[in-house]
């Protein structure tokens, strides 16, 4: 598949859910990445991590990683992602910044799960002060969230201003992404590109 589009792409992004368990998904993605190294393109990976995932991906030459907090608060995370470890995500994000460096670590945070603007701002600022670029993703109300209102354009605009300011204060630049959501900018507002 990659071979068929090689002449038209500048990077590869791998995103994955959890089909059976976190460890099996990680093993599968690591094997895929090994095969993709042949193309000598920047590769970004977004999976639910184990403690060792950042180190394993760095060893394989991955350019960027995205480990998703999903929710602005630990309480909402616990409700939306039962059985997953919010604190481990923060540890993995910190380790990723150590390994991959500035402007190479990202985290999706969904807007509209019941958080306040103040809670979302606190999450954005915590991520940026840790060296992580937040990717703010408006809720797409499907499955069990059908009936939950999608965030308004006004709210998204307010949060975009906060997002832009927090990135600037932390010396981060979302426009420098080589892979994944922030490079594509097809689904989310990206500070510096959509202002």
**Cα(135)–Cα(159) distance, integer angstroms:** 11
Burial class (CB within 10 angstroms; exposed 0-12, middle 13-18, buried 19+) of 96 = buried
Say which residues have a Cβ less than 8 Å from residue 92's Cβ, sequence separation at least 6.
49, 51, 53, 54, 67
Q: Are 49 and 67 in contact (CB under 8 A)?
A: yes
The three state secondary structure string of 104-172 is CEEEEEEECCCCCHHHHHHHHHHHHHCCCEEEEEECCCCHHHCCCCCCCHHHHHHHHHHHHHHHHHHCC
pLDDT digits (tens, 9 = 90+) for 95-131: 999 999 999 999 999 999 999 999 999 999 999 999 9
**Cα(2)–Cα(166) distance, integer angstroms:** 36
Specify the pLDDT at position 27: 95
Strand partners, 106: 66, 133
Closest of 182, 169, 158 to residue 42, by C-alpha:
182
- The pTM for the full model equals 0.94
pLDDT digits (tens, 9 = 90+) for 58-67: 999 999 999 9
pLDDT digits (tens, 9 = 90+) for 75-91: 999 999 998 999 999 99
Specify the pLDDT at position 193: 67
Domains of the chain and any CATH numbers: 2-184 (3.20.20.70)
Confidence at 17, pLDDT banded by 50, 70, 90: confident
Mean confidence (pLDDT) of the chain: 93
Q: How many Cα atoms occupy the beta-carbon half-sphere of 44 within 13 Å?
A: 23
**Cα(135)–Cα(184) distance, integer angstroms:** 12
**DSSP structure string for 46-91:** E----TTHHHHHHHTT--EEE---BSSSHHHHHHHSTT--HHHHHH
């Amino acid at each position: 598949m990659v071979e068929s589009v090689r002449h038209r792409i500048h990077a590869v992004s791998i995103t994955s859910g959890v089909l059976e368990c976190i460890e099996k998904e990680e093993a599968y993605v690591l094997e895929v990445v090994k095969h993709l190294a042949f193309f000598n393109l920047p590769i970004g990976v977004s999976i639910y991590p184990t403690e060792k995932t950042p180190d394993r991906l760095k060893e394989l030459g991955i350019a960027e990683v995205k480990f998703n907090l999903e929710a602005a608060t630990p309480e909402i995370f616990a409700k939306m992602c039962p059985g997953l470890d919010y604190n481990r995500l923060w540890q993995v994000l910190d380790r990723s910044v150590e390994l991959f460096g500035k402007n190479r670590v990202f985290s999706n945070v969904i807007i509209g799960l019941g958080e306040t603007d103040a809670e979302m701002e606190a999450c954005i600022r915590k991520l940026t002060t840790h060296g992580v670029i937040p990717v703010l993703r408006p809720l797409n109300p499907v499955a069990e969230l059908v009936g939950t209102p999608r965030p308004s354009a006004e709210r998204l605009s307010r949060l975009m201003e906060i997002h832009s300011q927090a990135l600037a204060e932390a010396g981060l630049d979302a426009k420098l992404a080589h892979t994944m959501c922030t490079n594509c900018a097809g689904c989310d507002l990206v500070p510096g590109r959509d202002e």
